[in-house]
C-alpha cells in the first residue's frame, strides 16, 4: 500500500507526457530543429518552477512526510562524463525520439515497437556497467 | 470541456505538472530520475553477480519501478480515454524538413516509417530502434542521469554537472538530426 502514491504519480506522469505530446518523435525533431516553442515551454516551465521550489525548500528547511529534512546531494564534479555521456544520450534521444520515461509511456500508449527501444536501453545500461572502468569520468 | 482534455495539453500546464511530480517525489522522500530504473532492472535480473555496478540493494528502488509501471498505465489511459487520435500538430517547417528524409507528415503521435510493424521487422528499421535505445541507455548511465534527473531535477538544484550534461544532450541531438540522420534515413 505504501507504493500506491508512486503508482498514482507515475500514472499522472504518463498521462501528462502523452497529452503534452512530449513522447512524440515528431515533437523531439521539432525541438532539435528549433522550429517550435512547445518542448522548450514544457522543460522551461518545469525548470523555472523547480528552481523556485528547491530554493524555498532549502530556505525554509522543509521536511518530507517522514519528518526528515529534504536534502539535495551535489553531483560529482567532472566534465568528461557529463559531456561524453550526455552527447551519446543526445544521439539516441534524437534517433529514437524518446528518453527512458517516454519510452515506457509509448508502450502503454500502444506503440509496441518501443519495447525494442526500451529493451536495448537496458542493454546499453548493462554495457556501461561492464565497461565503466575503461571510460573517462 | 471534453475538447479541453482531448486536445494537446498546453506547455505551461504540462511543465507545471512535471515540476509538481518532482516536488511530490521529494516530499515522499525520493527524487525524480527515470533512467535509474534501467540499472535497477539489470540488478533485479541478477546481473550484479558478475558486474559490480549492478550489485546493490535494488529493492530500495522499488518505488521507482512502481512509478515506471504507473507511467505505462498513464500512457494507456491517455490513448484510450483522453485522445481522439489526432495527428501531432508540428510546425510546417518540421514537416517540410522531415519529408526530405522520407518521413511523411504526422498521422498520429509517431511516424509509421520508424515505429510501424513493417519498420520494426525490417533490418534497417530494427537497427535504428535498437541503436537509439542502446545510446540512450548507455549515455544516460554514463552521464549519471537523463532528462528527468539532469534537465529537470539537476537544473532545478542549479547543478553545473547537469548543465554540462544538458549541453551534451543537445550536441548529440543536433549531430544526429543534422549530420547523421540525412546519411542513414
Tens digits of pLDDT across chain B (185 residues): 778 888 999 999 999 999 999 999 999 999 999 999 999 999 999 999 999 999 999 999 999 999 999 999 999 999 999 998 889 999 999 999 999 999 999 999 999 999 999 999 999 999 999 999 999 999 999 999 999 999 999 999 999 999 999 999 999 999 999 999 999 99
Q: For B103-167, give the DSSP string.
A: PPPPSSSS-HHHHSHHHHTSHHHHHHHHHHHHHHHHHHHHHT--IIIIIIIIHHTT-HHHHHHHH
* CB A14 within 8 Å of CB B158: no
Q: What pTM was estimated for this model as a whole? A: 0.96
Q: Determine the 3-state secondary structure of A123 from DSSP.
A: helix
DSSP conformational letter for A1? -
Is A69 near chain B, with CB under 8 Å?
no
Please state, in angstroms and rounded to a whole number, the distance separating the CA atoms of residues B108 and B114: 12
Residue pointed to by grid coordinates 539516441: A92
Bridge partners, residue B11, by sequence: none
Are A124 and B53 inside 8 Å of each other by CB?
no
Between chain A and chain B, how many beta carbons pairs sit less than 8 Å apart?
Answer: 479
Please state, in angstroms and rounded to a whole number, the distance separating the CA atoms of residues A87 and A89: 5
* Model ipTM value: 0.96
Bridge partners, residue A69, by sequence: A63
Nearest to B132 by CA among A121, A31, A135, A30: A121
C-alpha distance from B57 to closest chain A C-alpha (Å)? 16
Are B164 and A114 inside 8 Å of each other by CB?
no
Is B172 near chain A, with CB under 8 Å?
yes
Residues of B in contact with A29 (CB under 8 A): 90, 94, 97-98, 177
Is A130 near chain B, with CB under 8 Å?
yes
Chain B interface, mutation test: which of A1, A2, A3, A10, most B Cβ atoms within 10 Å?
A: A10
Amino acid at each position: 500500500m505504501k507504493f500506491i502514491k508512486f503508482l498514482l504519480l507515475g500514472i499522472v506522469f504518463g498521462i501528462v507526457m502523452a497529452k503534452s505530446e512530449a513522447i512524440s518523435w515528431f515533437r523531439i525533431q521539432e525541438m532539435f530543429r528549433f522550429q517550435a516553442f512547445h518542448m522548450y515551454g514544457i522543460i522551461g516551465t518545469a525548470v523555472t518552477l523547480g528552481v523556485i521550489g528547491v530554493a524555498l525548500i532549502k530556505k525554509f528547511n522543509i521536511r518530507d512526510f517522514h519528518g526528515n529534512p529534504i536534502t539535495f546531494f551535489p553531483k560529482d564534479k567532472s566534465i568528461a562524463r557529463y559531456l561524453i555521456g550526455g552527447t551519446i544520450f543526445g544521439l539516441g534521444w534524437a534517433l529514437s525520439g524518446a528518453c527512458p520515461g517516454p519510452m515506457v509511456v509509448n508502450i502503454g500508449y500502444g506503440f509496441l515497437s518501443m519495447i525494442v527501444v526500451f529493451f536495448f536501453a537496458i542493454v546499453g545500461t548493462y554495457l556501461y556497467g561492464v565497461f565503466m572502468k575503461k571510460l573517462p569520468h | 470541456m471534453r475538447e479541453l482534455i482531448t486536445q494537446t495539453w498546453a506547455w505551461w500546464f504540462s511543465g507545471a505538472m512535471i515540476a509538481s511530480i518532482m516536488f511530490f517525489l521529494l516530499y515522499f522522500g525520493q527524487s525524480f530520475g527515470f533512467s535509474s530504473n534501467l540499472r535497477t532492472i539489470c540488478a533485479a535480473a541478477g546481473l550484479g553477480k558478475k558486474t559490480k555496478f549492478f550489485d546493490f540493494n535494488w529493492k530500495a528502488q522499488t518505488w521507482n519501478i512502481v512509478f515506471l509501471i504507473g507511467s505505462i498505465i498513464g500512457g494507456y489511459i491517455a490513448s484510450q480515454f483522453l485522445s481522439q487520435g489526432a495527428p501531432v500538430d508540428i510546425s510546417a517547417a518540421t514537416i517540410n524538413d522531415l519529408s526530405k528524409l522520407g518521413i511523411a507528415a504526422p498521422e498520429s503521435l509517431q511516424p509509421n516509417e520508424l515505429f510501424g510493424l513493417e519498420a520494426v521487422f525490417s533490418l534497417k528499421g530494427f537497427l535504428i530502434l535498437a541503436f537509439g535505445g542502446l545510446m540512450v541507455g548507455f549515455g544516460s548511465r554514463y552521464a549519471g542521469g537523463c532528462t528527468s534527473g539532469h534537465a529537470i531535477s539537476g537544473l532545478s538544484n542549479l547543478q553545473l554537472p547537469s548543465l554540462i550534461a544538458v549541453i551534451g544532450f543537445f550536441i548529440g541531438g543536433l549531430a544526429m538530426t543534422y549530420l547523421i540522420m540525412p546519411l542513414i534515413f
